[in-house]
A = this chain, B = another copy of it.
Amino acid sequence: MTDPASGNFGDRLERAIREKQSVAAVGIDPTLDLLPPGLAARGASGPEDLASALREFCLGLVRAVADLVPAVKPNIAFFEAFGLPGLSVYRATCRAAAEAGLLVIGDVKRGDIGSTAAAYAAGLLDCPRLPRRSPEEAEPPPGEALLGPHDALTLNPWLGSDSVGPFLARGCGRGQGFFILVKTSNPSSSEIQNLRLAEGGTVAERTAGLVRGWGENFRGAGGLSAVGAVVGATHPAELNRFRELLPDAPFLVPGYGAQGGTAAGVVPAFRPEGGGTVISASRSVLRAWRGENRPDDWPGAARRAVLAMNAEIAAALKAAGRRGWR
């Protein structure tokens, strides 16, 4: 199923982690209160200036962390909050990240019936990774208007196989991957995900079984599948359990930092041989300029926050006698 030109997403993720010697994925989730004062002031004069300030913030973050992390994870909600101009900034952010050599994980959490899932997949997976940009080109290339490019997406499993299948069919063969929401980082995630089943185990554990099945035909040369799981950093004991249930799935672990996830807590997400996971942090990186009280050097502050996060995770892995990457 693998297109040799692009490779399996599991292999691409492992390679990116090894090249960067880092497992951090920066969540690019811009809100007005995260904008440093200079940009916030510029953005206050009207909708177009606001979009331009958001764009500068997001693209500046991408440049600041590009050599330090394997991936970025923009959450489309924070762009949709600013309407169509915000979604245009989302697209610009994905492009800038792809051009900087980063994997782009679109945090879109889509889930719908099969025919609708196919429409979402077309809109979110077909944007070309590096569109041609020659000035003679009058007509934009196909897919130029689409959201992305995306190397991976997050998906919601509530509707079952029908809702995931069209994404896998369209993307896995050309190097794209998927992280299914198995156990989310938020407090009320237990309300449905942790319900105990009559057959034993929990709803989330049964969902992990579905994810394992979905990923079986999409393993890369290194063994890691293109179909992975989201498991929150805020549940270390469950991380351990889900790694047992999903030995070959890439993990996307959100909730580090602002939501309370710790370096020691994310150690169980790693495969025994190292790698296989990215740990994402959003607010703790984007608002790092506040903690340092250096609003003018917000890119430097973001960079230092990522370096600190990497160092914390490396130290926690070492303390646990575990490897971060191969």
A6 contacts the other chain (Cβ, under 8 Å)? no
A81 contacts the other chain (Cβ, under 8 Å)? yes
- B184 close to A86 (CB less than 8 A): no
A186 contacts the other chain (Cβ, under 8 Å)? yes
Bound CA span A115–B152, Å: 22
Q: How many whole Å from A60's CB to the nearest CB in chain B?
A: 20
Bound CA span A206–B191, Å: 9
- B120 close to A80 (CB less than 8 A): yes
Tell me which of B46, B87, B203 contacts A195 (CB under 8 A).
Answer: B203
- B113 close to A184 (CB less than 8 A): yes
A173 contacts the other chain (Cβ, under 8 Å)? no
Known: A186-B159, A197-B196, A203-B195. A84 touches B80 (CB 8 A): no
Tell me which of B81, B122, B144, B196 contacts A199 (CB under 8 A).
Answer: B196
A189 contacts the other chain (Cβ, under 8 Å)? yes
- A123 close to B160 (CB less than 8 A): no
Bound CA span A145–B86, Å: 9
Q: How many whole Å from A35's CB to the nearest CB in chain B?
A: 14
Interface positions, chain A 269-301, Cβ under 8 Å from B, are 283
Interface positions, chain A 155-193, Cβ under 8 Å from B, are 156-163, 181, 184-193
Report, as a range, how many residues of chain A touch the other chain: 35 or more
Q: How many whole Å from A46's CB to the nearest CB in chain B?
A: 7
- A158 close to B160 (CB less than 8 A): no
Known: A75-B112, A111-B156. A139 touches B46 (CB 8 A): yes
Closest to A154 in B: B112
A93 contacts the other chain (Cβ, under 8 Å)? no
- B113 close to A111 (CB less than 8 A): no
Closest to A116 in B: B77
Interface positions, chain A 17-47, Cβ under 8 Å from B, are 29, 31, 46-47
Q: How many whole Å from A134's CB to the nearest CB in chain B?
A: 18
Bound CA span A124–B81, Å: 7
A317 contacts the other chain (Cβ, under 8 Å)? no
Closest to A80 in B: B123
A140 contacts the other chain (Cβ, under 8 Å)? yes
The 3 closest A-B pairs by CB, nearest first: A160-B188, A83-B145, A160-B191
6 extra A-B contacts, CB within 8 A, seeds A31-B119, A159-B186, A160-B188: A75-B116, A77-B120, A109-B111, A109-B112, A113-B259, A192-B203
Cross-chain pairs A/B with CB under 8 angstroms, 17 sampled: A47-B145, A80-B119, A83-B143, A84-B145, A85-B145, A111-B111, A113-B185, A156-B156, A158-B181, A158-B184, A160-B188, A160-B190, A160-B193, A161-B191, A162-B189, A197-B197, A197-B198
